[in-house]
Amino acid sequence: MESIQSIKQRFGIIGNDPTLNRAIEKAIQVAPTDISVLVTGESGVGKESIPKIIHSLSHRKHGKYIAVNCGAIPEGTIDSELFGHEKGAFTGATATRNGYFEVADGGTIFLDEVGELPLTTQVRLLRVLENGEFIKVGSSKVQKTDVRIVAATNVNMFDAIKKEKFREDLYYRLSTIEINLPALRERKEDIHLLFRKFASDFALKYKMPTIKLTEDAIQLLLKFRWSGNIRQLRNVAEQVSVLEQNRTINAASLQEYLPTGSTNLPAVIKNTKAESDFSNEREILYKVLFDMKADLNDLKKLTMELMKNGNATEVQEKNESLIQKIYGNEEDANFEDAKEDVELLSIPQNVTPKPIQDASDKYHFAEEIEEEETLSLHDKELELIKKSLERHQGKRKLAAAELGISERTLYRKIKQFDL
């Protein structure tokens, strides 16, 4: 069995992080078997190295090794790519085609971004894993294949299963052995080592002196989050190598090549509710409007109650409570205006409703209430203000006190209605 260090040298893997070493060790141990392996980790951590290690150390090393990016193949053609198709199976199928599983018979297939597979393709893949059988698109003939499947994904598979985007049975068949590669920010001791390796490679490639980092630049390098992992680090090293005239790079120069606001920040958590945020806000708004409508109906009922029994003080207190519930407390800027507007619904205490004499009067009184409810708020306000001013010979102070509003508000209403 080859050592971890020799494997690193053979496949160009840089770093001494314990979690990285453990991942390579698991790949070495599982390689001689035919067990399916699932490689997990963020995009850009180098997941493609693990299946190569597994294939090269297995008894299939002389067979074909095919890497397939499942996320790059259109959904309509991925079944044909993986399993092949018969001539005439669909428009454009002018000849029979062998799929990857037929071509790689006796070898290894690496399914990168396996979490992007359509559900129909997942069913076909599950059959291959269970008994090594598949059917070409447009055919009814069952064919056999002997392939080792190594898959990789940067998707949280349990979330995908919960959202019914990935089959749970397929996940457990793929992940007999799961190998997780750590993110670059979790391998801080390896960051500068990798940067130096990339800088040296680009110096040879572009035939120029190797760049070097000052101590403050190294600290900036270590603090940066590297959301794109090794791929992003390599990209930055190449940019600096090509564009900088000064071959000694300080923190200020390096900062120009790093996205602003990304140093040492917490991980970005995907918002699983993004698709439903708008509908949720709309539902909340509807609920608030319905509640306000119910409260305003309560105000109307209280006004009718006042017309019926003349208990203005009790109704006024209930009005105050409902106004605060709808519009907020007295600290709100709109509270006073809202209060004054709603108070106009109240009837002066000295207005006594017509008593109900008998059952027929009950119906008559109900009809009168129904008619009152059809009046607009504008008409109701105008009528009450006119009556109060007439009763007090135009004295605004007395009329305002009777109406239960401020003199300032009454003056505003007089101007508004042009009385």
Rounded CA separation 188/223 (Å)? 9
Rounded CA separation 23/70 (Å)? 23
pLDDT tens digit string along 374-393?
446 667 777 888 888 888 88
- Look at residue 260 and tell me if it is in a domain: no
Q: Which of 140, 107, 135 is nearest to 123 (CA)?
A: 135
Average pLDDT over residues 235-255: 94
Which is more confidently placed, 160 or 261? 160
Rounded CA separation 243/208 (Å)? 11
* Residue 214 lies in domain: 185-255
Domains: count for the chain: 3
Do both 167 and 31 map to the same domain? yes
Q: Are 7 and 32 in contact (CB under 8 A)?
A: no
- Look at residue 153 and tell me if it is in a domain: yes
Assess whether pLDDT exceeds 90 at residue 73.
yes
Do both 289 and 412 map to the same domain? yes
- Structure tokens that stand for 48 in this block: 């493609």
> What percentage of the chain carries pLDDT values higher than 70?
75
- Look at residue 215 and tell me if it is in a domain: yes
- Look at residue 293 and tell me if it is in a domain: yes
Helix (H) or strand (E) holding 242: helix 229-243
Q: Which of 211, 279, 289, 285 is nearest to 244 (CA)?
A: 211
pLDDT tens digit string along 325-346?
555 554 444 455 555 555 554 4
- Look at residue 264 and tell me if it is in a domain: no
Do both 322 and 362 map to the same domain? yes
* Residue where a domain stops, chosen among 149, 182, 215: 182
Domain with 221 in it: what CATH number? 1.10.8.60
Q: Are 241 and 202 in contact (CB under 8 A)?
A: yes
Do both 214 and 109 map to the same domain? no
Do both 241 and 333 map to the same domain? no
Rounded CA separation 134/390 (Å)? 95
Q: Which of 11, 8, 35, 31 is nearest to 20 (CA)?
A: 8
* Residue where a domain stops, chosen among 182, 211, 229: 182
Do both 249 and 337 map to the same domain? no
Do both 61 and 170 map to the same domain? yes
Do both 311 and 345 map to the same domain? yes
Q: Are 169 and 129 in contact (CB under 8 A)?
A: no
Question: How much is the pLDDT for 282?
Answer: 61
Confidence label for 412 from pLDDT (cuts 50, 70 and 90): confident
Tell me the backbone φ, ψ of residue 177, rounded to 5 degrees: -120, 125
Confidence label for 236 from pLDDT (cuts 50, 70 and 90): very high
Rounded CA separation 32/13 (Å)? 21
Do both 314 and 371 map to the same domain? yes
Do both 125 and 19 map to the same domain? yes
Do both 12 and 161 map to the same domain? yes
